[in-house]
Amino acid sequence: MSDHGAATGTEVRVTGATETTVMTYAEAIRDALTTAMRRDERVFLMGEDVGRYGGAFGVTGDLVDRIGPDRVRDTTISELGIVGAGVGAAVTGMRPIVEIQFSDFTAQAMDQIANQAAKIHFMLGGAMQVPLVIRAPGGSGTGAAAQHSQSLEAWFAHVPGLKVLMPATADDAKGLLLSAIEDPNPVVVIEHKLLYKTPGQVRTGYATTPIGVASVRRRGADLTIVATGVEVSRSLEAAERLAADGIQATVVDPRTLKPLDSETIVREVISTGRVLLVQEAVKTLGFMSEVAAVIAESEAFVHLRAPVARLAGLDIPIPYAPQLERAAVPQVEDIVAAATRLVREW
């Protein structure tokens, strides 16, 4: 079977010197896993139902057939144990990738994530590295209710020693994962569940996306929208609707929350003088509060023509009822409304 899974037979095109093919976000992750594991025998994956079942969201698919059960390992239902085993494997020379079935379940493993993986390198004076990757599906929109739908990226970004990535496109899902596997530090990769089935052009072969470099997805003169995860595609759709109403928006996708590409964000805010920060996570102490502070402490502050605006999830557990779940987090129409107010009222 092709390494691109269900992408087999899709259109392949060459952009410059780079060949691309259409894959879904999930297929791109599977392609990255396959590519990395075939390239380096130290790389292996473990988690709940990642083997024969193919993962809770079908991401690993037939990976166990491609690589074998020794390196695509099903585990017991114990996130603390899974991450602990990953930390142990990492410090002894392996390149483990741990899949947490829902990002919410990292709560069960935070001691290993925050107190072990993130701190061993520093507490041992740099004598030991922890090249551990933790993949965690996050976000709402699947009707999974409060304990399976949270956006917890701010938890991880607050811990020194962790890198935090949030790919918003299929190509970045592959490229950032490959970079995370290469990295000598522990990296948390948050994959939005709603993005798994979304297709996109993905670079073939061993094609990485650099950690710590934001992507400017669209440029406009009237305001800058900074968004993460699923809110990137929503912001791009909102930008098209805004353009039809005469408002041109720049859309910046940080891609990596930590390290954060502050330079790109500040530059794009300076260029428009207005900024709307969009996240799915709850507003209070969310990651975009940090971005707002970065802007306020930078040269962008004197270029602002309006206050920094945040648009975020409501400070409530995610409801189960579909209409309430949708209302709890920013949708395209919410972004359009907030951006319009920011431009028209200031």
State which of 203, 224, 248 marks the end of a domain.
203
Largest CA distance in the chain: 60
Compute CA distances 245 → 221, 222, 238, 265, 337, whole Å: 14, 12, 11, 25, 12
pTM above the 0.85 mark? Answer: yes
State which of 151, 170, 203 marks the end of a domain.
203
330 and 263 within one domain: yes
The answer to whether residue 282 sits within a structural domain is yes
Contact 53, 36 (CB under 8 A): no
Contact 165, 187 (CB under 8 A): yes
What range defines the domain where residue 275 resides?
215-344
Residue 192 designated active-site: no
For residue 47, the model assigns a pLDDT of 97
Total structural domains within the chain? 2
185 and 334 within one domain: no
Active-site residue among 79, 153, 280, 325? 79
17 and 142 within one domain: yes
For residue 186, the model assigns a pLDDT of 98
Question: What is the spatial distance between Cα 311 and Cα 343, in angstroms, rounded to a whole number?
Answer: 15
Kindly state the helix (H) or strand (E) to which residue 335 belongs, with its residue range: helix 332-344
For residue 10, the model assigns a pLDDT of 46
225 and 172 within one domain: no
The answer to whether residue 130 sits within a structural domain is yes
189 and 150 within one domain: yes
Active-site residue among 4, 148, 192, 268? 148
Task: Write the CATH number for 184.
Answer: 3.40.50.970
For residue 3, the model assigns a pLDDT of 35
For residue 13, the model assigns a pLDDT of 54
263 and 124 within one domain: no
193 and 238 within one domain: no
161 and 35 within one domain: yes
Residue type, 120: I
319 and 274 within one domain: yes
Ranges of residues in the chain whose predicted pLDDT is under 70: 1-17
The answer to whether residue 54 sits within a structural domain is yes
Closest CA to 161 of 131, 200, 204, 203: 131
Closest CA to 86 of 135, 41, 127, 124: 135
State which of 146, 171, 203 marks the end of a domain.
203
Scan for tokens 């309430």, then name that residue: 324
Residue 79 designated active-site: yes
Scan for tokens 């992408």, then name that residue: 7
130 and 93 within one domain: yes
Task: Write the CATH number for 312.
Answer: 3.40.50.920
Question: What is the spatial distance between Cα 243 and Cα 296, in angstroms, rounded to a whole number?
Answer: 27
Scan for tokens 């017991």, then name that residue: 76
The answer to whether residue 142 sits within a structural domain is yes
